[in-house]
Structure 1
Amino acid sequence: MHFLSKNADDIYCQLFNMKPIFKTIIFGLTASCFYSTASAQLTVSAQLRTRTEYRDGLGAPLPKDENPALFTSQRTRLSAGFSTYRLKLGITIQDVRVWGQDGSTINRTTTQDNNGLMLHEAWAEIGLTDTSNKRYSIALKLGRQEIIYDDERLMGNLDWPQPARRHDAALLQFNSNQWMIHAGFAFNQNKENASDTKYNPTPAGNYAANTNGGSMYKSFEYLYAGRKYEQGNISFLFFSDQFSKYHNDITNDVPSKVWDNGTWTRFTTGFYTINNFNKINVSASAYYQFGENASGEKLSAALLSANAFYKVNKKFSVGPGIDYTTGGSSGNKSNAFDPLYGTPHKFWGLMDYFYAGSGFGNKGLMDYYLKAKYAASSSCSFTAGVHQFNSSSSVYNNNGDKMSLNLGTEADITANYALTKIIGFEAGYSHFFSTASLTSPGVKNITNAQSNNNWAYLMIKIQPSFNFK
């Protein structure tokens, strides 16, 4: 207290007459604060993505008596990132709208479904090891975040739909030059309850929460381990997600689900690898799913995938691939594989007939495809693909007779052009030749469906970014 009562000059003198050990502490703390501030970096970025779509059978064949749809949707994002000693922060606010959705003089949301403004990301990454350690790092990442691994087949940000995907989760991360080992955890609640942990997994507006049109998970835990080597990498995933138990009831003569205590648990485990052999790029994956699904059914399902891409020259690449997912059921056990929280738009056709929210009777899929890419210049490229889709389980008509396993053929072509580093254009056209098996009651269940389905789009992406040090 005697020291604190002195005037400023006395304090100044006292500081410089301290014992060496106290001088070291004071100047060390001062230097540390200065270093932390001086090394901080702020990044601000924005995105304006408009997409005009012509839909004449997107997601499912259109009945012959219905007209095609035409609209423009827009995603607007504002992101900020902050990085300093042992800390990274990320925040993304986004708004998703359809042009004309709001009246030109209305400045407030009139319905829940029209409310497109949301917090897409809000996370902090805390460095648990000092940044001077160059061999490895351990960090804890908390908050709302995108979770992406490997080729995004099972875990991706689903960036093609304008709202995209994110999770409220905690990740413990170990990263080194060769290894990436992550453990993730999530536990969802609808609100701050005074008691109980029952969870209603149905999102507002009754939107699908996963890639196969299922409900939102109650919780999840996972372990991901990936290792890089000279010609590629290999990874292992063990993912466990839980779903709220329920029983069916009737309220006001309307069937409904009543959510109960407890959960059903599903397990997914397997491997992914990608290898580069001179001009050939080969990737493969194998996953097995067991436990119980979101409906409480016993589960035994699998996914197998393999593809090769050959670089003919600097501009042209081409290659085949095959995907197989089990489907159907055997006794009281479901064999329908669910691709978790991935990005199906990248794999099973751009028209999103399979594993993209539009169900197909849990039939499973055989997808034989051929894809090609041509880079006309550094700013212009074209991609094309042809898919032959077959059901991996039996298909029946209304009379109980077996039908062909052929679900249809899809052809896709896209073009990308970068006007500048922050302005890009993308256009695409897809055609789906559907079959009677695809529209049968046990698959898409569409009567009087057209056999030729079309989809076209034009997308403009503007993405400026600024760094401040």
Structure 2
Amino acid sequence: MKKIIRQLSGAVLFFCLLQPVKAQLTVTGQIRTRTEFRDGVGTLKPATNNAAFFTSQRSRLTFNYKMNHIIFQTSLQDIRVWGQDASTISNADGSKLGVHEAWAEIALANKKDTSFTHSAVDYFGVKIGRQELLYDDSRLLGNLDWLQQARRHDAIVFKLLNKGWQADMGFAFNQNTDAFNYNGTFYTPANVSPYVKDSRGNLAATPAAFIPLSNAAGLSSKTGSPSLQANPSTNGLYQDYKAMQFLYVAKTFNKTKLTGLVLADHFGKYINDSVKNIAGSDTGYIYGRRFNQKGVNSRVTTGILLNSILDKNKAFALTAGFYYQAGKDRDAQKISAYTSTVSLAYTKNKFTYTAGWDYVSGNDAFSSSTTNHRFDPLYGTPHKFWGLMDYFYVATGSPTGGLSNPFAKVKYNSAAKRFTAALDYHYFSLAKDQKNTAGTAINKYLGSEFDLVTTYALNKVTTLEYGFSVMAATKSMEYAKNITPNSAKLTGTWTYLMITIKPEFLFK
């Protein structure tokens, strides 16, 4: 990794030195370590299990080069858990180096740039390559920066600015290979291990265009039928989109910003399949989904978000938004779902007080409707909205019955903003009724979460962050998370210490 970084930085620096004086190169590094103690994070902890303790690290190096009508950026990152690799590894272990970003933005018109003899709009450009899609409050499109690996897309985005208006139009099309002997555009939407265990526990090669089930037997623990996982999931899990298009429009009126989003994402069709695996005298089966079917399941999400300063002293700020989903979900089920948010913030002296309510629609277990009413928050940053312990709409699944989340927050900023402290409260309940094993409705109240986060800027490049969270769940949370009743610890805790070092090595 060090050799690759030295070669890349040397090449970029040499190229920069050959350019006119107006060229600008910035090289930024980041080391971010996070030590965590987990005792019921993401889902309730089985009563017989022990807490987890570990340190993860992100190492990132970002090159940003600007000249004339172009911006070029590449971000290399290495993500790992301390001790994940032996102190000495062999070549067979492979490389852990990844490219988080690699994009270029070409300016086609810019009134602020005198090199353009004529520009009909304030700015028009195109951004091509691997990039973060970060809009508004990251509710539906965000970089998910809390995760060490973060989130990015391979896409092309056209960007327009003119007289207070902003319009971005993006396109993405995913494919697994460019091999000559590969026909069609079938897409296996996940990073799949090359090996999998069959129903008898024998190790076998993963079949082509195949996503295996999560357990060796290939059966859901409750239904006994093929299932990828017990809990419903969001797009960030096992199935990436085949194609995506979006249009984002924003307009600022005095102290009010109104934004609109229309996003269409399309998912490859699949069939449930099984493959026989013969290992010696033993015969087992590999169950899963085979993504070699023609056509896609298309879904459209559209909505608006309002951010407004309500008074001349900038003490009161209102946020309100509504988004609706229609079409078909990735499993070919008709979808009609929505989410809404409203919050009011008041700032006085060094404190900001916020109260609000998020509502995410779900399915009613007592309804005979075959339409999916469970809203999927697309490619946003759930960690920011629905509790720092990540019980909802992240990698541990999301409640079938949706989510109702009134919340209250208070934040303190020191005069120089060197120290901050924030305390959040979330009241979690199901949006729609769910039933227990006896067929009767469960209590909608799932639990309450308290999140405390403090940050301190040690110097210009180093920030310390400490967090402590508590989840006080009810027995209804066991049903919502598909856990055997009376088998889990209902109180979960989490604490972490994160150190971020972000120096700027070169600025020309």
Using structure 2 for the length normalisation, give the TM-score. Answer: 0.82
How far, CA to CA, are the matches of 2:235 and 2:470 in structure 1? 22
**Match of residue 197, structure 1, among 182, 185, 189:** 185
Does the 8 Å CA contact 1:61/1:453 hold for their aligned counterparts? Answer: yes
Q: Return 79-88 or 199-208, whichever deviates more.
A: 199-208
Match of 2:169 among 174, 183, 199: 183
Residue 69 of structure 2 is matched in structure 1 by 86
How far did residue 69 of structure 1 move?
0.1
Change (3 A) 1:375 1:267: same
Which residue of the partner structure matches residue 373 of structure 2?
Answer: 335
Counterpart residue type for residue 385 of structure 1: D
- 3-state secondary structure, aligned to 1:304: strand
Q: Is the 8 A contact 2:327 2:336 kept in 1?
A: yes
Answer yes or no: is the 8 Å Cα contact 2:133–2:152 preserved in 1.
yes
Find 2:321's aligned residue among 275, 278, 285: 285
Give the residue type in structure 2 aligned to 1:183.
Answer: M
The 5 A counterparts of 1:300-319 are 300-311=336-347, 313-319=348-354
SS of the residue aligned with 2:45? coil
Find the aligned partners of 1:352 and 1:155 in 2 and give their Cα distance: 17
Gaps of 5+ in 2: 1-16, 194-210, 215-228, 277-284
User: CA-to-partner distance for each residue in 1:277-304, whole Å, 9 max, x for gaps?
Assistant: 2311110110000000011100000001
Q: Identify the residue that residue 21 of structure 2 maps to in structure 1.
A: 38
The 5 A counterparts of 1:264-413 are 264-278=297-311, 279-311=315-347, 313-328=348-363, 331-378=369-416, 379-413=418-452
| Cα distance in 1 between the residues matched to 2:370 and 2:107 | 48
Count of aligned residue pairs for this structure pair: 432
Q: Distance in 1 between matches of 2:491 and 2:387?
A: 15
- Over 3 Å counting, the alpha-carbon distance change for 1:137 and 1:446 in structure 2 is farther
Hey, what's the Cα distance between the residues in 1 that align with 2:452 and 2:65? 39
Deviations 1:23-63 (A, max 9, x none): xxxxxxxxxxx996221000000000000000000000101
AA aligned to 2:453 is T
CA distance in 2, matches of 1:269, 1:363: 21
- Aligned position for 1:421: 460
User: Could you report, residue by residue, the CA deviation over 1:324-376 in whole angstroms, capped at 9, with x for unpaired residues?
Assistant: 01101652110000000000111000000001121134221000100110123
- Cα pair 1:211 1:344 within 8 Å, conserved: no
CA distance in 1, matches of 2:60, 2:163: 32
2:252 is paired with a residue of what secondary structure? Answer: strand
Q: Write the distance in 2 (CA, Å) between the matches of 1:458 and 1:177.
A: 44
Which residue is equivalent to 2:282?
Answer: none
Task: Name the structure 2 match of 1:254.
Answer: 286
CA separation of 1:49 and 1:93: change in aligned 2, threshold 3 A: same
2:263 alignment partner, one of 210, 230, 239 = 239
| Equivalent-residue separation in structure 1 for 2:491 and 2:332 (angstroms) | 37
Distance (Å, rounded) in 2 between the aligned partners of 1:355 and 1:76: 27
Q: Is the alpha carbon distance of 1:445 and 1:410 closer, same or farther for their aligned partners in structure 2, counting shifts above 3 Å?
A: same
1:109–1:319: structure 2 CA closer, same or farther, 3 Å change rule? farther
| Partner Cα distance (1:99, 1:318) in 2 | 38
Matched AA of 2:289: K
Task: Work out the CA distance in 2 between the residues paired with 1:393 and 1:452.
Answer: 24
Check conservation: 1:211, 1:357, Cα contact below 8 A.
no
Q: Does structure 2 conserve the Cα–Cα contact (< 8 Å) formed by 1:264 and 1:292?
A: yes
- Aligned-pair RMSD on alpha carbons? 2.1
Distance in 2 between the 1:310 and 1:289 partners? 32
Check whether the contact 1:213–1:355 (CA below 8 A) recurs between aligned residues: no
* Shift of residue 175, structure 1, vs aligned partner: 1.6
Give 1:255 deviation, angstroms: 2.2
**Structure 1 range deviating more: 189-198 or 100-109:** 100-109
Q: Where does the alignment leave 5 or more consecutive residues of structure 1 unmatched?
A: 1-33
- In 2: Cα distance, 1:210 partner to 1:117 partner: 26
Q: Distance in 1 between matches of 2:97 and 2:256?
A: 40
Identity of aligned residues (%): 38
Contact 2:43 2:481 in 1 (8 A): no
Letter of the structure 1 residue corresponding to residue 155 of structure 2: A
The verdict on how the C-alpha distance between 1:276 and 1:108 changes in structure 2, with shifts beyond 3 A counting, is: farther
Cα distance per residue 1:161-196 (max 9 Å; x no partner)? 100000000001102351110100000000104421
Q: Distance in 1 between matches of 2:374 and 2:335?
A: 8
Once residues 450 and 159 of structure 1 are traced to their aligned partners in structure 2, the CA distance between those partners, rounded to angstroms, is: 29
Alignment correspondent of 1:11: none
- Distance in 2 between residues matched to 1:215 and 1:281, nearest whole Å: 37
**Alignment partner of 1:72 is 2:72:** no
- Bigger CA radius of gyration: 1
Amino acid at match of 1:425: L
Render the CA deviation track for 1:135-157: whole Å, top value 9, x for unaligned: 51110100000000000000000
Runs of 4+ in 1 over 3 A off after TM superposition: 204-214
**Using a 3 Å threshold, how does the CA distance of structure 1 residues 166 and 250 change in structure 2: closer, same or farther?**
same
- Measure, in 1, the Cα distance between the counterparts of 2:482 and 2:399: 7
Q: C-alpha displacement at 1:249, in angstroms?
A: 1.3
1:171 is matched with 157
Q: Is the 8 A contact 1:361 1:444 kept in 2?
A: no
Provide the rounded CA distance (Å) in 1 between the counterparts of 2:21 and 2:146: 38
Q: Distance in 1 between matches of 2:75 and 2:297?
A: 33
Match of 1:219 in 2: 243
Tell me which amino acid in the other structure corresponds to 2:169: A
**Counterpart code for 1:81:** N
Which region of structure 1 is more displaced relative to structure 2, 179-188 or 459-468?
459-468
Partner-residue secondary structure (3-state), 2:144: coil
Q: Does the alignment pair 1:128 with 2:108?
A: yes
CA–CA separation in structure 1 for the residues paired with 2:77 and 2:66: 21
Distance 1:80 1:351, change over 3 A: same
Question: Aligned to 1:38, what secondary structure does the other structure show?
Answer: coil
Offset of residue 211 of structure 1: 5.4
TM-score of the superposed pair, with normalisation by structure 1: 0.88
